Structure 1
Amino acid sequence: MAASLMGIYKSVRWLPFGNWLFSKAVCIKAPYFGSIKPTITHLEAGKCVAVIKKRRSIQNHIGTIHAIAQCNLAELVAGVMTDATVPVKTHRWIPKGMTVQYLKKADGVLTAEARIDLPRVWQDKEDLIVPVEVFDQHKTKVFHADITMYITER
């Protein structure tokens, strides 16, 4: 059986550049996330935090961080948090939908946080709504997403 995502995180987070190394591993497994060059800075059951820095490759025509880069960041933290939280031996998950709100221009360094309340009872054929908040370096909320994860029993 493959190691759990949480197990891998716990084994590398204490290393020098451990968060970077873990983030790279996630991006190898799911390559599209690599386009935003995220760093996952915190992971525990029910919570994931990641940051991205503004770079030319993720800018829009007005010089701020592109809306889709923000969606990508939101899906990353929601997915990693869900994977680290759902009991891997009994359940699985897949993203089903996303609603987003662009609240302010996104510039500089963005920090995204996905969080759900625990403990919880995991069911079969359940829609789990994962809220994601994204803040700029001034702690201003610039983006909100509600990502629906479809949870099923194995």
Structure 2
Amino acid sequence: MTTPLLSLYRRLSRWPCGRWLFTRAVCFKAPYFASISPRITLLEAGRCEGTLADRRKVRNHIGTVHAIALCNLAELTAGLMVDASLPADMRWIPKGMEVRYQAKARGTLKAVAVPELPIASATAGYELPVRVGIHDATGTEVFVARIAMWVSPRRGNG
């Protein structure tokens, strides 16, 4: 199974600067995410990875990456992973997010989003928990989020 989003990622990622172009297309569709200038580095069914560069526009008053910038990266990677993984007859929307800030976030940060349960078609809606860990360049997990995605059948199915 390949979703339209996953097909686009695969097609663009073969080109020089293709992942950059894919990320720009995503940020065009959902403009708020452009505020953190993310980069999607891997997208496949069941996994999404993205990076966030430590630059002035994402820093807080103590010189570390702002907590909300980390939340934005977590929501972006989780949403893309779910969208790339869902059967065509299902849809999703974020329902809630629990986060833990575990260490000061500095330098280029890498987010990895994976589902905590199998993703499948269903006749009724269900909550899909997605774990997003964000690590710094040393491998230290500086942030972790558990995002509850509400997955439900698309209207008009059946």
- Does structure 2 retain, via aligned residues, the 8 Å contact 1:115–1:131? yes
Aligned residue for 1:94?
Answer: 93
Aligned residue for 1:129?
Answer: 129
Aligned residue for 1:150?
Answer: 150
Matches of 1:146 and 1:119, distance apart in 2:
15
Q: Aligned in 2, Cα 1:75/1:120: closer, same or farther, shift over 3 Å?
A: closer
Matches of 2:70 and 2:81, distance apart in 1:
17
Matches of 1:48 and 1:70, distance apart in 2:
15
- Does structure 2 retain, via aligned residues, the 8 Å contact 1:78–1:132? yes
Matches of 1:99 and 1:55, distance apart in 2:
25
How far apart are residue 117 of structure 1 and its match? 5.9
Aligned residue for 1:70?
Answer: 70
Aligned residue for 2:4?
Answer: 4
- What is the total number of aligned residue pairs between the two structures? 151
- Does structure 2 retain, via aligned residues, the 8 Å contact 1:46–1:117? no
- Does structure 2 retain, via aligned residues, the 8 Å contact 1:46–1:118? no
Q: TM-score, normalised by structure 2?
A: 0.92
- Does structure 2 retain, via aligned residues, the 8 Å contact 1:77–1:112? yes
Once the two structures are superposed, the pairs formed by residues 1-154 of structure 1 within 5 Å of their partners are 4-87=4-87, 89-116=88-115, 120-123=119-122, 124-154=124-154
Q: TM-score, normalised by structure 1?
A: 0.94
Q: Secondary structure at the match of 1:19?
A: helix
How far apart are residue 121 of structure 1 and its match? 3.1
Residue identity matched to 2:97: M
Percent of aligned positions that are identical? 50
Matches of 2:19 and 2:85, distance apart in 1:
18
CA RMSD of aligned residues (A): 1.3
